[in-house]
Every structure is written in C-alpha cells, then in structure tokens.
Structure 1
Amino acid sequence: MTAHDTRAEDGRMAAVTARAGYMMGENVDRAWSTEHARAWEGFLELSRQLRREADGVLEPVEGLTVSMLGVMGRLARADDLTLRQTDIAGAMGLSFSRVSRLIDTLEARGLVERRPCPSDGRAVNVTLTTAGQALTRRAQDAVFAFVGERFFASLAAPEIATLADVFTRLIGRLDGAGAVLEDCG
C-alpha cells in the first residue's frame, strides 16, 4: 500500500468513525480511543455496505432482496419446506408485519404459498414452492460467490478465525440469541 493509499483509507475511516460521535455524543470523545470508534463504526459500515451490495447482487435474480432470500432460505431448509409465519419473523429478527409484506410479494410471484396450520387454527404456515426452490438455489449461489469475493478473499485464515471467535463471543452475550421454531405439522 502506498502513502497515498494509506491517506485515502485514513480519510474514509475518519468519516466513518465520526458517526460514533453523532450517535453517542461526547461520551465517545471522553471514553473511546480511535480504535474503539474504528472497530464499532467500521463494523456497522461494513455491514451496511455488504448488505447493500448483496441486495445489488440479488436484484438481477428475479428482483430478490436479502430479506426475501432470508425467508426463502429458511423455508428451503425446513421440514417439508414449511414454517409458521411467526417463526420466520422471530428467526429473522423482523417484525411480523415486515415479514408478512415480504411473504405477500413472494406469494404474488408464486415462490411461496400460505396455508392454515393444521394443529393451530390461528397460525399460518408458509411453504416454498417448486419455483421458489429453484430460485432460492440460484440466489444462494450468487450470494455465496459474492461473500467469497467481497469478504473472505480479503482475509487471511487467522483473521477469519479471529473474527469468528470475536463474533461468537459477542453474539453469545446478546439476549435472545436464537429463536426456537415450533412444529406446525
């Protein structure tokens, strides 16, 4: 990396880390080092950029989004390709109304079907259709290639191991780290 590249990279990170002060005010100036701000805001910025780029990768695949693929991918791995709509929302960390709108769109495209849950008349099951299965595989292949190129290709094996350890530890500290899916067969 040249001195010019380093200065440009420092300038980009300065703009990113300034956001910590916007969100947390003078607390950041008093309590955080530059590394704290770079770690926190760098994580958030990288997440935003990768999510936007992943949506861009999926757009040509029948106009899908990461959230749509999140629904379809969960259904593709579920028993009988079916989950309760409420369980999908819980597993994705999205509101029921947001997931309902996603499923409306997928259903209108013939990629999923809604059916009453046989064991609970109040619940609705969502099932991935044959067309949905084929599209899910294509979209997953596109995202897999994207993640390999835009994320993992820039990291050495020890860095991947470090990130995995750090994220595992941090996620383990969060409340509600995992959602339990109820059987509705």
Structure 2
Amino acid sequence: MTGHAGALTPDTIVDFIGSIFDRRGGEEYLGEPVTMGEHMLQAATIAEQNGQSEEIIVAALLHDIGHFTSEFGTFTMEDTEDRHHEDAGAQVLEQFFPPVVTDCCRYHVAAKRYLCATRTDYFSRLSEASVHSLKLQGGPMTQTEVKAFEKNPNLKAIIAVRYLDEAGKRAGMKTPDFGHFAGMVQRQVDRHISGSARE
C-alpha cells in the first residue's frame, strides 16, 4: 500500500486512513500502555466527550498519523534518520484538511515544549515515554521560541489537541472505532476542498 499519496483524492482519503487504523493501529506506541490506534481513538473520544468542535476531534484523531506515513510513500526502507512524525503527518494532511487540523498535527510536539515552558503543572502530566521524547525534541522552549510560537493563529486548537494527546494513554479505555469518526473526518475534508475552491 505504499506510494499511494499521489493516487489519493478527497473521495478516497477517509477510507484509506480508516484502513491504516484497521491494519496498523495495533502497533506499539513508543512504550505507552496503549497501541497507536488506541491512543489516537482515545484522544478523539475524549475530545468528543468534552464537547469539543469537530475540527478538534478530527485533529486529535489524526495528530499522530505521521507514524504511519510510510503508507503514503513519504518514507522508504532506505531512510536512515528520523523523519519527524509531526512534519511528515502534516505533509500528508495539508493536502486534504483545513489548516487548523494540519497545524494541530504539525505543532503537537512543539506544543509539549511550549507547555513545559509556560505552565508549571504541565510537566507532571507527562508519561515516562513523553518525558524521554521531550529531551530528544529539545526540552522546554526558550522565551524567544515561546514568543514566536504564540503568534500561530491556531494556538488555542494546537494546545487543546496537545492536552488530548497526553490524556489518550489509558490502558483498557473503551472507544468507538474509526468508523464512528469517519463522517466528521469527511466533513473536514469537504470543508477544506470547498474553501480551496473559493480561493
């Protein structure tokens, strides 16, 4: 199924993402007590339970899609370095989804660094695996980085998805499957396509 990025369309992207959840959602999530699929479905479910907007629910569902970007032909077996899953995921999503959804994916790692620098209680929320990855990702932001990050017009949504990211790591939590969210995902795709057509 690799190399499908060019062939995907607004009419096929949702089913294709659903197939990724079905086929690869059971993969380990970096030392966490949940699989990759469970993690993303939990984040989206918690967003829905909290009455968040559809764009936040969809962003929470797809924020880690970059771990599967080999499905889209973004990675090859010859890769010898980290492709930064947040950037790789955003590269896929920006073709089909509104900027707010893409930004929540692109900046969810930066948001962890931002929150560790600006909210004293945030670090205590991090799992052991998330603390470890924080070190690899550069640690808390500097004040210069904080000021630059705060200029993002989608900052509020990005932060919301970051909190959902941390929340979606509950062993044994029951969630709906991808199909429950598929209609929302398609509406976000349609919104992006209709917006692009007007520009």
TM-score, normalised with respect to structure 1:
0.26
Question: Comparing both structures, which one devotes a greater share of its residues to strand?
Answer: 1
- Structure 1 or 2, whichever has the larger Rg, is 1
